[in-house]
Amino acid sequence: MINTIKILGCVLLLGYLSACGSENTTTSNSGSAPLPASQVPSPQQSNTGIKSSESSTQVNNKPVNKLQQAPPTQGSAISERENREEYHNIPENQFQVVSANPRSTFAIDVDTASYSNIRRFINEGQLPPTNAVRLEEMINYFKYDYPQPTDNKPFAVTTEVTQTPWNPQHRLVQVGLHSQNTSIENLPANNLVFLIDVSGSMSDANKLPLLKNALRLMVNQLRPNDKVAIAVYAGQAGLVLPPTPGSQKQTIIDALEKLDAGGSTAGGEGIELAYKVARDNFIKSGNNRVILATDGDFNVGASTDEELVKLIEKQRQSGVFLSVLGLGTGNIQDGKMEQLANKGNGNYAYIDSLLEAKKVLVKEIGATLVTVAKDVKIQVEFNPKKVQAYRLIGYENRLLQTQDFNDDKKDAGELGAGHAVTALYEVIPVGVKSDVSLGKIDPLKYQNQTIGNNAVNTDEIMQVNLRYKQPQGENSQLISYTVIDKGIKLENASNNLRFASAIAMFGMVLRDSQYKGSANFDSTLQLARQSVGTDLDGYRAEFIRLVEKSKSLKVVSKS
């Protein structure tokens, strides 16, 4: 009898412990476990991706990026799904010897996602993984006081040369592009399709709920001649809102409010549906664009990078461009989203807060939505009598072959209305004995490396050539500018160049670049504070705070 009571007691105890363990598992993954595809409405159902209640779940645990290899905080439960951030490898640009490689060719890049993603890491108390740091996107996050075009060209070009802050023996060249600022009233009519990921991974508060608030801001900027449709994808894709005039703002907002997350991610199918809706409602001479909002987690259908890129490349031929908004933490497929935006003739932004949403979708709506020049390429030729070596800072995944510059079939970067684009070159002048190792290149056997009179009898250090097409054009136009080094010292350089240099220093320190020279957090802060200039929106002041916080994080990591 006593033995029977003991056995029953053990059974009851095991049952209680099993129930507790099940309950704990559900809580730690609340709102994040994908629903079976059978529970996701089909495309034929009018309630595809629509929620039945107003409740939403917020995950309180802060996931730790696995690429950082930082241990989870004590007591946290980081699931494998929450720990899947991926960044493409970025091998740093090396110095090139002018005698062997006199030309540098690349496509412009107006993406800004890297900077806001880095900010997210730092604000959460971590330094970002190396491959999350793309210097050109950090630099191009900020506005610069470049002159706007005064002729019929879509952009103006500015150049400046000064000392390199982290290696004063070297010179730093800035090439700046600025397109015409255009008020929203003067922008062409918009044909927009919001393609929204409503899969289970989008349920966190900093994903779909944040996105809905962000898109509400954008909807309030729409005009009566604009059209908006909403497509969603989870287990399957569906059209939630047919093309609706911008005057019916409440109808659009109501459709957004009904969205809820659940299911796996059929991203390829959703992209095809969104492009079809955009093509069917194409506005000639208008802005026809799909805006993809996702954490980048495509796991059903065409989901490999190669398959999705081919799909986007095919669709862009229709004149419909693609912009990508990345959201969330712990599951960001950053490289994939950047690649899709690049191949879709669009841009990639990361939305880490409602303030960032306002910047991208309200204050800079023209730059985000309206393309004024496409396939913009830059090719720089260096004068071997003035420059012995050079290095392009950033743009590693935008490099082109020399022959690509004149190939109008080669895809390049797009420039939006009011966009500013900056490229920096670090150059080693002829005669300077640099501490940078350039290696040794043997002379050619079958060619004579002679320097022409054009190089000798000039003060030019380089020529900047640019090619671009009209938004719906197929033939590129060429413009050229020469650059002369007037020997300007760093303290006399413009705030534009000095602040861009401070951002480059910060990026190189975060990446622990082999070329960072004397750059550190302290020198970055000093230069940034000296060159803040006009900062109406406070973005530059925020940059300084991020550098200060990064410095404290670095100190903590060493202790």
Q: Give the residue range(s) of CATH 3.40.50.410 domains in the chain.
A: 189-369
* Residue showing tokens 């009519």: 189
Q: Which of 441, 480, 514 is nearest to 101 (CA)?
A: 441
Element (H, E) at 365: helix 365-369
Q: Which of 527, 544, 526 is nearest to 535 (CA)?
A: 544
Angstrom distance (rounded) from CA 228 to CA 241 = 8
Per CATH, the number for 189-369 is 3.40.50.410
Please give, one letter per residue, the 3-state secondary structure of 368-433.
HHCEEEEEEEEEEEECCCCEEEEEEECCHHHECCHHHHHCCCCCCEEEECCCEEEEEEEEEECCCC
- pLDDT, position 147: 94
Angstrom distance (rounded) from CA 271 to CA 261 = 18
Is there a contact between 538 and 110 (Cβ–Cβ < 8 Å)? no
The strand order across the sheet containing 237-245 reads 237-245, 227-233, 190-197, 287-294, 321-327, 348-351
- Interhelix angle 113-123/539-558, rounded to 10 degrees, is 50
Element (H, E) at 496: helix 495-511
As given in the structure block, the two tokens for residue 267 are 């991203």
- pLDDT, position 487: 95
pLDDT tens per residue across all 559 residues of the chain: 445 444 445 444 444 444 444 443 333 333 333 333 333 333 333 334 554 333 332 323 333 333 333 333 333 333 444 568 889 999 999 999 999 999 999 999 999 999 999 999 999 999 999 999 999 999 999 999 999 998 889 999 999 999 999 999 999 999 999 998 888 888 999 999 999 999 888 889 999 999 999 999 999 999 999 999 999 988 677 899 999 999 999 999 999 999 988 755 555 678 889 999 999 999 998 999 999 999 876 654 555 667 778 888 888 889 999 999 999 988 888 988 998 899 999 999 999 999 999 999 999 998 888 899 999 999 999 999 999 999 999 999 999 999 999 999 999 999 999 999 999 999 999 999 999 999 888 888 898 878 888 888 899 999 999 999 999 899 999 999 999 999 999 999 999 999 999 999 999 999 999 999 999 999 999 999 999 999 999 999 999 999 999 999 976 655 4
Contacts of 152 (CB under 8 A, 6+ apart): none
- pLDDT, position 151: 86
* Residue showing tokens 């009566």: 224
Angstrom distance (rounded) from CA 365 to CA 195 = 17
Contacts of 350 (CB under 8 A, 6+ apart): 112, 113, 114, 116, 117, 120, 325, 326, 327, 332, 334, 356
- pLDDT, position 235: 67
Measure Cα distances from 33 to 262, 264, 551 in Å. 8, 9, 37
Q: Which of 322, 241, 219 is nearest to 279 (CA)?
A: 322
Q: Which of 311, 293, 294 is nearest to 302 (CA)?
A: 311
Measure Cα distances from 407 to 346, 376, 377, 402, 529 in Å. 20, 12, 10, 10, 43
Is there a contact between 108 and 378 (Cβ–Cβ < 8 Å)? yes
User: Class assignment of domain 96-182+372-434+455-511?
Assistant: mainly beta
Is there a contact between 336 and 296 (Cβ–Cβ < 8 Å)? yes
Measure Cα distances from 32 to 166, 199, 201, 225, 350 in Å. 45, 9, 5, 39, 20
Residue 128: other Cβ atoms inside 10 A = 21
The sign one gets for the Cα dihedral 451, 452, 456, 458 is negative
- pLDDT, position 369: 87
Angstrom distance (rounded) from CA 403 to CA 392 = 18
Q: Give the residue range(s) of CATH 2.60.40.1230 domains in the chain.
A: 96-182+372-434+455-511
**Start-to-end C-alpha separation, the chain:** 62
As given in the structure block, the two tokens for residue 542 are 């925020």
As given in the structure block, the two tokens for residue 29 are 């993954």
- pLDDT, position 3: 52
Length of the chain: 559
Measure Cα distances from 385 to 98, 294, 325 in Å. 10, 50, 46
The strand order across the sheet containing 96-97 reads 96-97, 387-393, 420-429, 171-179, 155-163
Is there a contact between 289 and 347 (Cβ–Cβ < 8 Å)? no
Environment class of residue 407 by beta-carbon count within 10 Å: exposed (0-12), middle (13-18) or buried (19+)?
A: middle
Angstrom distance (rounded) from CA 210 to CA 328 = 9
